[in-house]
Structure 1
Amino acid sequence: MNQKHLLVVDDHQDIRDLLKEYLQQHGYRVSLAKDGVEMRAKMAEASFDLVVLDLMMPGEDGLSLCRFVREMDGPPVIMLTAMSEDADLVVGLEMGADDYVTKPFTPRVLLARIKAVLRRSAGGGSHEPVAVEPNRLSFANWSLNVPLRQLERDDGLVVALSNSEFTLLQVLLKHPQEVMSRDQLLTLTKGREAEPFDRSVDNQVSRLRKKIEQNPQFPNLIKTVWGGGYLFTATVSSTRVDL
């Protein structure tokens, strides 16, 4: 059986090492690069069946590197992206990325995406991205329209969200009925920009409550867990709607 050769490009050594060990256990040959310079050198030395590419890196970023791979008619690309990088992700997909995985992720999820992209590639499919995530998240009497980045109530009311409010709500909707600490929420919403003792999450939660709670003073949807963080209590359903 032909062993597929993968190139993992990420500036975090712990992520590179973890993915190499995990993917090798599942039968892949794996090479690593910490930045664009190493990636270009590796691709000049060997051929790869797929590239796992971090979107945000110091030096040459993932957008430029994805363009480089497409211009050289290179292998499929799966982008790794933080949830706060939505705009750059759209550009990456338009540049020809085949799929994406949102950080934080489990290696098992990435493995499934790798297998799917390799199957499409082997079948002669194009590099056009395939939608893999729902674009509408519904809860209580609300739904979050992800592409339009707006909140819609069942009676037709549309509520505008700031970028930070949208990102925080999306994180909460992806982790329903799960206690999320402030540090977790900061990491998922701000990524590398998060700073110790940053209290902006509390302010964003307060603003969100004013928009989605019947009584923000006694919230039912976003509950405070004293000493722990926040808990989104509602059941969330995910759907894909053609826009």
Structure 2
Amino acid sequence: MLTASMPYSMGTQTRIYKRTNPNTDMNRPLSAANNNQNNTQQSTFKVMLLGDSGVGKTCLLVRFKDDTFLSGSFIATVGIDFRNKTILINDKQVKLQIYDTAGQERFRSVTHSYYRDANALLLLYDVTSITSFNNVRVWLSDIHEYAHSDVIVILIANKVDKTTERVVTREMGEKLASEYDVTHIETSAKTGLNVEFCFKAIGQALLQQVDSTISNGESPSKTLSNLVLLNDQSHKRTLCCSFS
């Protein structure tokens, strides 16, 4: 088993919220896999980064998009910003339209209007900030109210490289994720830990959601859970080899 000091995390299955809300479900987003399947192999999905201001949403996005780290001070996101990145999954091109959102309360109403168009929501908290962790419940409540019924949600513990400043343990994050039945992954935008894996796992789960030919009888949440499990096992093998 992993020890608490290891900078990566496992989680429970991703929650796919199930509820009946005609005002929301009628606006359920359609991916390009549905609209353009006769013309191209590329599927397009909308992914949103959520969480309090300062948890590292922009840094996580820049690490994934450009493989660089935004060090030092920078201006917080105002409103909504987004970037595109195309990745290859199972010989299929998957285009992720990733929306970086402002975490400040005054922009929350603006962010809500984008929820219903998202295929996946990545909810971040900062492991050095107990406030950002406690506010996860507020964000999950908003997701339940405004997002469409089968949105995929992942809870991300960011900044795990700051081991001496950490106040939110892996166990605390996993317990909260289990309570809401969502996948929990630990990342570091600074070191790149689990960043690329996180987005690629989301891409694979989303692709499966619209392409039954690759489902193998599994739900997207089960696929995502299995991917996280395999990633954790790979980390453990690497760690064992480093001490052998």
TM-score (norm 1): 0.46
Instruction: Kindly indicate whether structure 1 or structure 2 has the higher relative contact order, using CA contacts under 8 Å at least 6 residues apart.
Output: 2
Q: Which has the larger radius of gyration?
A: 1
